[in-house]
Amino acid sequence: MWRQCYPTCSLFPIAPQHKIGDACLMENTSLSPKPFHFAAAFGAGGLLTLMILCNGTLAAYGSLFFASWVPHLAGSIVALILLMALQPGRATKARPPIWAYLGGVSGGITVMLTSATMNTALALSGTIALGLAGQVLFSLFADMRGLFGLPQRMPSQRDYISLTLIIAGSLVLIFFGGEA
Amino acid sequence: MIVYAALAVIAGLLVGLSRQINGRLALSTSAMESSFWNHFVGFVFITCVALIIGGLFAGEPQESPWWAYLGGPIGVIFIAAGSWLIPRIGAAQTAMLIIAGQMISGVVLDIVMGAAGSPWARTLGVALILLGMWTSRSKRPNTITKHTHSDN
């Protein structure tokens, strides 16, 4: 598994002053969201809505390729400028594995898949609903196994309850909230 | 039909996969560098596929309003936020809070833009999501800590 190749704890930069075992303990207990994390993730969801509005508008005028190509190009330029301005520095001296650079490929394939399914009987609502299911399943599995060198974390019963409520609410909005 | 449903689920899996990989890159580098590589590698990939399949500039992209081009810059912050959060609160929490934020802001946007919709469904949906978020905010039992302790 990935996790064995890239053990989570030694690579985790949040608590470098701790020994490996301590850092592990700290991660697992601190993985319930603090107010700032909570607000940041919720706010990121709001950004996603604006992003979809923008990219969806591009797709209405140009091709679906164009609507994905332009934001990736503009995003690369803006991120490069921000990197040069902020100079955040690297968290560790150790080089990240090459596959860690390939997240964008996965994102690119996502765009192509969703543009394919959106035009079937699934429509946008079905595509979003099934996409949510896939996303939640993957994230639960990824947490349980600590996939790709990220901290391992067993979801609690509370997590399942809250996930169920959020997904239920999302499905209500997707299938019944859209049109009168 | 089943095939398309499977493809839609796979698209969701890939969203999670991408976030996980970007989060791993941010662990070694920084959230912003991870966001840059996500966009740049994605750009190269889409360019290659578009060159093979063609039709990149089909339609009338020059007619689109100027603000539609802001999706990229917004995405930079979005990907950086996800890469920063996922090692800190876990993939599941990250995913569900982003979904909650996306859904609720979507309702707000629909109302602002005057999109037709059922007020009842909107209220029920938002209420369920808020309840789910409130549940995750409640204090976590200590048993998890003890369990982790014995593991180490």
CB A53, CB B74: distance < 8 Å:
no
Determine whether the interchain pair A150/B59 forms a contact, defined as Cβ–Cβ distance below 8 Å: no
Query: A interface mutation test: which of B34, B128, B145 has the most A CBs within 10 A?
Result: B128
Q: Are B141 and A14 in contact (CB under 8 A)?
A: no
Of B18, B97, B124, which has the smallest distance from its Cβ to A38's Cβ? B97
Same domain, A142 and A174: yes
Residue A144 contacts B where some CB pair is shorter than 8 Å: no
Average pLDDT over residues A42-60: 90
- Residue indicated by tokens 């890159």: B25
- Say if residue A113 is in the same domain as residue A58: yes
Residue A33 corresponds to which amino acid?
Answer: P
Summarize pLDDT for B87-134 with one digit per residue, the tens: 999 999 999 999 999 999 989 988 888 888 888 899 999 999 999 999
pLDDT of residue A23 exceeding 70:
no
CB contact under 8 A, A120 and B4: yes
- Note the pLDDT of residue A35: 86
Residue A168 lies in a domain: yes
* Host domain of residue A68: 48-87+98-119
Q: Please check the confidence at residue A123 and state whether its pLDDT lies above 60.
A: yes
**For residue A33, what pLDDT is reported?**
63
DSSP A1: -
Same domain, A107 and A139: no
Give mean pLDDT, residues B22-39: 95
Q: Does residue A138 lie within any of the structural domains?
A: yes
Which chain A positions have a beta carbon within 8 Å of B21's beta carbon?
99-100, 102-103, 106, 148
B65: exposed, middle or buried (Cβ count in 10 Å: 0-12, 13-18, 19+): exposed
Residue A144 lies in a domain: yes
**How far from B57 is each of A157, B61, B62, B152, CA to CA, in Å?**
49, 7, 9, 56
Minimum mean pLDDT among A14-28, A68-82, A125-139, A166-180: which range? A14-28
Do A113 and A61 belong together in one domain?
Answer: yes
Whether residue B32 has pLDDT greater than 60? yes
Complex ipTM more than 0.90, yes or no: no
| In chain A, residues 96-125 whose CB comes closer than 8 Å to chain B | 96-97, 99-114, 116-117, 120-122
Which residues in chain A are closer than 8 Å to B24, comparing Cβ atoms?
A: 6, 96-97, 100, 148-150
Same structural domain, A58 and A115: yes
Q: What is the mean pLDDT of chain A?
A: 80
pLDDT at A175: 87
Q: Domain ranges in chain B?
A: 1-89, 91-139
Q: What is the DSSP code string of A76-142?
A: HHHHHHHHHHH----S-SSPPPGGGGGHHHHHHHHHHHHHHHHTSTTHHHHHHHHHHHHHHHHHHHH
Q: Across all residues in chain B, what is the average pLDDT?
A: 87
Q: Is the pLDDT of residue A66 over 60?
A: yes
Is residue A13 a part of any domain in this protein?
A: no
Of A52, A58, A130, the CB nearest to B12: A130
Residue A27 within any structural domain of the chain: no
Residue B145, pLDDT > 50, answer: no
- Domains identified in chain A, total number: 2
For residue B75, give the 3-state DSSP assignment.
Answer: helix
**Listed residue (B93, B32, B135) closest to A37, CA to CA:** B93
User: Tell me, what's the pLDDT at A64?
Assistant: 84
Residue A21 has pLDDT above 90, yes or no: no
Q: Looking at residue A179, what is its pLDDT?
A: 60
Residue A1 falls inside a structural domain = no
Instruction: Please write the tens of the pLDDT for every residue from B42-62.
Output: 999 999 999 998 888 888 888
B21, B90, B101 member nearest A44 (Cβ): B101
Question: Do A112 and A160 sit in the same domain of this protein?
Answer: no
Whether A52 maps to a domain, the answer reads yes
Cα B104 to Cα A13, A61, A105, B138: the distances in Å are: 33, 27, 28, 20
Q: Rank A60-64, B67-71, B135-139 by mean pLDDT and report only the highest.
A: B67-71
User: Once rounded to an integer, what is the mean pLDDT over residues A160-179?
Assistant: 88
Q: Coil, strand or helix: which one is B41?
A: helix
- A155 in a domain, yes or no? yes
User: Which of A42, A169, A177 has the CB atom closest to B118's CB atom?
Assistant: A177
Answer whether A20 touches B (CB < 8 Å): no
State residue B144's pLDDT score.
43
Q: Is A24 on the interface with B (CB under 8 A)?
A: yes
Q: Bigger pLDDT: A35 or B70? A: B70
What pLDDT, on the 0 to 100 scale, is given for residue B139? 62
